[in-house]
Structure 1
């Protein structure tokens, strides 16, 4: 399947294909060839537009993170992240945490997580408290979210794996309001 020459459409197709495959397979098991094939383009275009698989992964995570951050006022961010992460019919490309969890053992992926996800989410969450240790409080909440994702999605730990996402999000937001006073806990 070939596409008309349109740089923006080609980049978008590569990003969409990469998000899907990284979410399903993780970084290591996703090949440049598979991404290009799913996008319907030659793999040389991936290198032309993104430079490397690592750079494409970083772009995918940054794009998804930014979209979620832009779509969620800070006080709703925790709840919205949890609800998306726990969607009963998850599409791996819908949330960067799926790709992160499947790729966290890869050094460049871990660096992307620290830089793109950690800093941006921590900055948004730390804005929800006036405490001196706001950054630490935000990191604690982020660690909890990642832990919930691992237990639910990776290990299938019961009863969390089958718990109602709205109930989990409400309980976590309520508990997190001790650390982040302006978190929407309802």
Structure 2
């Protein structure tokens, strides 16, 4: 029974991620998600409560930056630099990025996105930083992460495609180290 519940939840999440990435939040209905997942609308609502909650859950499960944040805090700047450099150079368009691009401007979704950035980036990074002003330092690192996504969306995959990966990562690591260093450190 537990395995079926988990499998159904995973099917719903996968269907929602694909549909949100393809059509955007505003154009996707719970009925569409249920149909794509082979479930009924009531089941989707029972598992996730609302389309907005489902969207938030998809955002949490689709993010790849979490792996760059976790681990030894001293190595976090290098991991974040590698993550951002890869996205900039390859134009890697993970489902999460496509979902954010097509998220729409509804206040409900803006609140979900703001909460996701707070919890998934700012809070996650600041929790691993020693010393004072951890939140401020985490916000600065978040500016780089989100700004990289905006640049990639504007310029497309060719923006930094030809950049030397080692140089790009080294420069980004320097920027992340400056952002994340404790005051006077």
Name the TM tier (shorter chain). Answer: 0.7 to 0.9
Deviation at 1:142, TM superposition (A): 0.8
Q: Per the alignment, do residues 28 and 169 of structure 1 end up closer, same or farther by CA in structure 2, a change over 3 Å counting?
A: farther
CA contact (8 A) 1:61 1:116 kept: yes
Helix, strand or coil at the partner of 1:177: helix
More helix by share: 2
> Aligned runs of 1:117-156 on 2, under 5 Å?
117-126=117-126, 127-128=128-129, 130=131, 132-153=132-153, 155-156=154-155
Partner of 2:159: 160
Greater relative contact order structure (CA < 8 Å, 6+ sep) = 2
> Aligned runs of 1:9-88 on 2, under 5 Å?
9-65=7-63, 68-69=65-66, 72-73=70-71, 74=73, 75=76, 77-79=79-81, 81-82=83-84, 85-86=87-88, 88=90
Q: Which piece of structure 1 moves more, 171-180 or 53-62? A: 171-180
Deviation at 1:39, TM superposition (A): 1.5
Q: Per the alignment, do residues 89 and 147 of structure 1 end up closer, same or farther by CA in structure 2, a change over 3 Å counting?
A: closer
Where has structure 1 moved over 6 Å in runs of 4 or more? Answer: none
Segments of 5+ residues of structure 2 without an aligned counterpart are: none
Segments of 5+ residues of structure 1 without an aligned counterpart are: none
After TM superposition, the score normalised by the length of structure 2 is 0.74
CA distance in 1, matches of 2:180, 2:19: 34
Q: Per the alignment, do residues 125 and 104 of structure 1 end up closer, same or farther by CA in structure 2, a change over 3 Å counting?
A: farther
Q: Which piece of structure 1 moves more, 158-167 or 138-147? A: 158-167
Q: Per the alignment, do residues 101 and 120 of structure 1 end up closer, same or farther by CA in structure 2, a change over 3 Å counting?
A: same
Deviation at 1:87, TM superposition (A): 7.2
Q: Deviations over 1:39-75 (max 9, x none)?
A: 222233211211211110111112334x752574251
After TM superposition, the score normalised by the length of structure 1 is 0.73
Deviation at 1:152, TM superposition (A): 0.7
CA distance in 2, matches of 1:170, 1:35: 42
C-alpha RMSD of matched pairs (Å): 3.1
CA contact (8 A) 1:85 1:97 kept: no
